[in-house]
Structure 1
């Protein structure tokens, strides 16, 4: 089922399958990638309870082995509508017998999409409904059309950053992060887009406090900004060597497996812990012009 929310200037469409944002439009321009299966057949999936890859797609917890697909399973789950107005929708999903086979924790995840002005706020409310502490990762993977106008090209755009400062970057080695080789990344100036920029997959940065990551072009008045506060990581990604007309800005509370991962959930880098009956909340916004 597809849900539409809108105001006088922008329209967003959200699927109940995975609570995924599938369209965000203003002035006839589509800002969200339309899931061409020849390149990448998602729009803006939610990542939970893991982010990225696990070695051999498996992990252990309390001595038991579990399988887990890349980026977790929530993007393939069917959500229910909890509340809805013209400019807001709240979707909800709770753990069940099938999810417990993959992930041994009980939870309820509510995702709220709310339009305000020229922006869309995406709010996550995760409650641990089980009897023990829950270990989890949570993030988002929105893909944005680049170029936004037919007369422009991918290379006409660039990333810019606020605050404009260097951020620690974490390199990938064969899809896994090498945390010991992190260095300073030059996010104190703009980074011109080109497909070769992603030749080693994602660019992953550590972030603190309030951050804004922007996709802009000197040849257009239209741009995209992803704003968030206190997400510890963000990834920038576009397919390579297969070239596609989109780029992702992904705020993460979590991380893909490390090159020296033990496979134990308790040891996994970037995981978060939530006590029984406690709630974790976070949000980010997409602003378009």
Structure 2
């Protein structure tokens, strides 16, 4: 079921399936990728309880092997709408017998969408309802149209703020695993868009304490800026060589497995630990201009 948020600037549609943004319009112009399955059949999936892929699609916890597909099960789950107001929607996913079969923790996971002028504020809120420490990753995967209205893919660029050295972690192209042994400190500021930029899959970096990535173009003032904090990694992605008309700006509090992973969940790089009955939250903001 889909629900709509609307103010004087934006009209936003969210689907209870995956608690996923389905549409973001300003001045009647669609900014969000419309899930053409010939390229990529999603709009902005919510990633939980992992980000990226697991080696061989599995992990080990307390001597038991669990299987889980890439980016976790939240994106393919029906969330419950627990609050609906003109400017805010709150969705919740709770653990069930089905989730426990692939992820052995009792939890509540809320996704909050709130409109403020030309911004969509998205908050992820995790509560550990188990008696043991919970280990999880989560992240966002919104895809934005390129071009938004005018021009071509090559008329756009991504600008990373602040411009400073950060760690770039390459991916192993066949498997999607991190090659941390090849990570490097790089200066990243402006990235002119061309499809070949993503020839080796997503570009994965460490985040600053508070940062943003802007999608702009040389023909008009239509743009998107994604801002976040408390999410220590981010990815930039567009499928290659498919030459799809979108780019993803993805803040993450979690990350894919390493090539050399042990497979043990307790040793997995980039995960969060949450004590029983404690809560974790993080926020990202999409600004539409």
**Normalised TM-score (structure 2):** 0.98
Please, what is the CA RMSD of the aligned residues? 0.8
Match of 1:173 in 2: 172
Q: Hey, what's the Cα distance between the residues in 1 that align with 2:187 and 2:226?
A: 18
Matches within 5 A, 1:12-31: 12-31=12-31
Query: Is the Cα–Cα contact under 8 Å of residues 230 and 283 in structure 2 kept in the other structure?
Result: no
Q: Hey, what's the Cα distance between the residues in 2 that align with 1:165 and 1:76?
A: 36
Q: Hey, what's the Cα distance between the residues in 2 that align with 1:221 and 1:166?
A: 28
Match of 1:79 in 2: 79
Instruction: Give the match's secondary structure for 2:101.
Output: helix
Match of 2:153 in 1: 154
- Residue deviations 1:185-241 (CA, integer Å, cap 9, x gap): 331x31100000000000001012110101111211100000001211000000011
Does 2:192 correspond to 1:183? no
Match of 2:132 in 1: 132
Match of 1:141 in 2: 141
User: Structure 1: which 5+ residue stretches go unaligned?
Assistant: none
- Residue deviations 1:65-100 (CA, integer Å, cap 9, x gap): 110011000111111111111111111110000000
Query: Is the Cα–Cα contact under 8 Å of residues 106 and 130 in structure 2 kept in the other structure?
Result: yes
- Residue deviations 1:142-167 (CA, integer Å, cap 9, x gap): 00000011x40000000112112232
Query: Is the Cα–Cα contact under 8 Å of residues 163 and 187 in structure 2 kept in the other structure?
Result: no
User: 4+ residue runs of structure 1 moved beyond 6 angstroms?
Assistant: none
Instruction: Give the match's secondary structure for 1:280.
Output: strand
Instruction: Give the match's secondary structure for 2:154.
Output: helix
User: Structure 2: which 5+ residue stretches go unaligned?
Assistant: none
Of 164-173 and 51-60, more deviation after overlay is shown by 164-173
Instruction: Give the match's secondary structure for 1:14.
Output: strand
Match of 1:228 in 2: 228
Match of 2:239 in 1: 239
Query: Is the Cα–Cα contact under 8 Å of residues 208 and 230 in structure 1 kept in the other structure?
Result: no
**Normalised TM-score (structure 1):** 0.98
Query: Is the Cα–Cα contact under 8 Å of residues 162 and 208 in structure 2 kept in the other structure?
Result: no
Match of 1:163 in 2: 162
Cα distance, 1:55 vs structure 2: 1.2
Instruction: Give the match's secondary structure for 1:135.
Output: strand
- Residue deviations 1:28-72 (CA, integer Å, cap 9, x gap): 111110000000000000000011111110111010011001100
Query: Is the Cα–Cα contact under 8 Å of residues 178 and 259 in structure 2 kept in the other structure?
Result: yes
Cα distance, 1:4 vs structure 2: 0.1
Q: Hey, what's the Cα distance between the residues in 2 that align with 1:64 and 1:202?
A: 31
